Chain A
Amino acid sequence: MTRPKLAVWKFASCDGCQLTLLDCEDELLALAEAVEISQFLEATSEIKDGPYDISLVEGSITTDHDLHRIREVRAQSEVLIAIGACATAGGIQALRNFADVDGYTNTVYAHPDYIETLEHSHAIADHVQVDMELRGCPVSKSQLIELITATLAARKPHIPNVSQCVECKRAETACVMVSQGIPCMGPVTQAGCGNLCPKIGRGCYGCFGPVEHANTAALSAEFARLGLSETQTRDKYRYFNAAAPAFANAGDRA
């Protein structure tokens, strides 16, 4: 039986999500048995030609060159899965969507005229058909393995679209907002990180992006009661998933 061909692609990103795949140490051998890793520059310079059965795409679209390349990736991929906050929402670099890109370019680069960039940082799904999205900054190891496993088994993956609060409660983490008055993005954020911040007494940073139907207006009102200024509340939404529509709108309203 021929193994499905897996390709991993990088766009504007920090490589953290690809590293999450490499970090799956216990499962890597089984993964390499289950699929033929055909393109994964983070791991090997050996490249096999497409087409590919599964493409994992990390990073956002920030240049005209990216725009052409993602279409090529799509054309060569049976299943295209966007992984991480950059690929699913534009990432931290989407903060530029709310600022003057030319201003940044002129400040940062000695020769800004060498820089060709789009005005906004975009999610992959803004430009090509995406079959599945995996949230997170970075993605969760267990969700990544679950997604690949489910795809190979042709079943729906368990990527729960519940709030972070559900993950906290199942793990017996006491609500940091109620018990300590810490502003927490959990109620409007999709679960999946493994409850990283609340379990050590920090508020959720919203790394997994907005949960469906997120009631950001109610949460922002609560942040105000907890003493956050409008700017501080806005900055809660302006993070790794700043350009995800629910968070972008909430940040604009704050």
Chain B
Amino acid sequence: MQAAPGDSFVISSPAPLIGALVGAGWRVIGPQEVDGTIAYEELRTADDLPRGRTDDQEAGHYRLTEGRPEAWFDYVVGPQSWKKWLYPSRRKLWSATKTADGFEIDDRAEDYPKTAFFGVRPCEIAAIERQDAVFDNGSFTDTDYARRRAATLIVAVQCARSAATCFCASMNTGPHAEEGFDLALTELDPDGDHRFLLQIGSAQGAALADGLPLRDATGDDHATARLAAAHAAAQQTRRLPADIAPRLKGKEDHPGWQAVAEKCLHCANCTLACPTCFCSDVEDTNDLTGDHTERWRVWDSCFSLDFSYIHGGAVRQDPAARYRQWLTHKLSSWHDQFGSSGCVGCGRCIAWCPVGIDITEEAAVIARDDG
């Protein structure tokens, strides 16, 4: 069957697709159950997927539980995001070793084989695209990020259910993606005529689909997929208003910042779980002999005191100022800087806040005009 971008087919299971990817020499990264959560690790076969699991998420709460046994993709996003593969939490930028007449620099990049991200949710496609605009935007290119991104294939999984923390529908980033993938799967009717709609998003995706056991998608297949997306969207109770960006401007002294700071641990969990947060620190080290030195880039956070450290001290001492910086950058000044919101509505910052602070609630408080 000759596939082309824009085509849709039906396949009975994700297993042949993973098999085809592995067979074609792709390193396949996808969801696996690790320590009671969904982690993105290397898949060897479809058996590594957490089939039959679902998640229970609320503010400050996450549990993986038994779901419908046949369902492959009944869970949504977990604590990790794909940024850990494109923008690792610790990366050696270079090392230098003293020589007889100077020093020698080694800046060889870490190996990144051609990699298929399998099971990327629509909000996560949006998150990757938001980071693309940060790391490779025409005026600036992080060459390591760009190299990894160029070697990455995206196999999306459209969402058929939402967690209570999801609010992608209000951010226009989900639960269904129209583009941004090479291939996309929608799981249809796990309890009955179990099958998957396979959408072709690129020539590379088409080439991979060609060898698979496919049949043409019917009107009924498409209708079932649309229903699944509509069901996932209808499940969402949290939302951010479309005009949140302008409404957060000029609210520097709103009493809401102090109120949220009373609850906020400023532990940085929200920013590190966020799939778009991109801040880092750079550390220079040397060994005891002084002959060898290394420069590392590590994830940092605007909630860390030293993040705003300049000569004389940290600019944002007050935790309220740190929360304000995060929220207003994420939801408002990100638009000025990169032309979109920094938030994709994945809900990770809500679920993974140990005290359950909800960005949609806090933004609504600040956006109210009584501030």
Contact = CB atoms under 8 A, between A and B. Distances in A.
Nearest to A175: B352
Given A161-B306, A178-B352, A219-B355, A166 B289 contact: no
Given A30-B289, A166-B272, A169-B268, A180 B36 contact: yes
A186 B265 CA distance: 10
A31 interface: yes
Interface size class of A (residues with CB under 8 A): 35 or more
Contacts, number: 133
Interface string B20-40: 000000000000001111010
A116 interface: no
A222 interface: yes
Interface stretch (A84-92, A120-128, A142-150, A239-247): A142-150
Contact of A215 (B37, B79, B264, B268): B264
B301 interface: yes
A153 interface: yes
Given A169-B273, A179-B36, A218-B263, A184 B354 contact: yes
Contacts of A175: 62, 79, 269, 352, 354
Contacts of A217: 262
B62 A178 contact: yes
Nearest to A200: B35
A161 B63 CA distance: 30
Interface in B275-315: 283-290, 298-301, 304-306
B84 interface: yes
Nearest to A189: B267
B265 A158 contact: no
Contacts of B264: 215, 218
Interface string B55-76: 0000011110000000000000
Interface string B72-102: 0000001110001000011000000000000
Interface of A: 27, 30-31, 33-34, 145-146, 148-149, 152-153, 155, 158, 160-166, 169-175, 177-181, 184, 186-188, 201, 212-213, 215, 217-219, 221-222
Interface of B: 34-37, 39, 60-63, 78-80, 84, 89-90, 262-269, 272-273, 283-290, 298-301, 304-306, 317, 319, 351-355
Given A165-B268, A178-B61, A186-B267, 20 more contacts: A27-B288, A31-B288, A146-B285, A161-B305, A162-B300, A163-B266, A165-B269, A165-B272, A172-B84, A174-B78, A177-B354, A178-B352, A179-B37, A179-B63, A184-B354, A187-B354, A212-B305, A218-B263, A218-B264, A218-B355
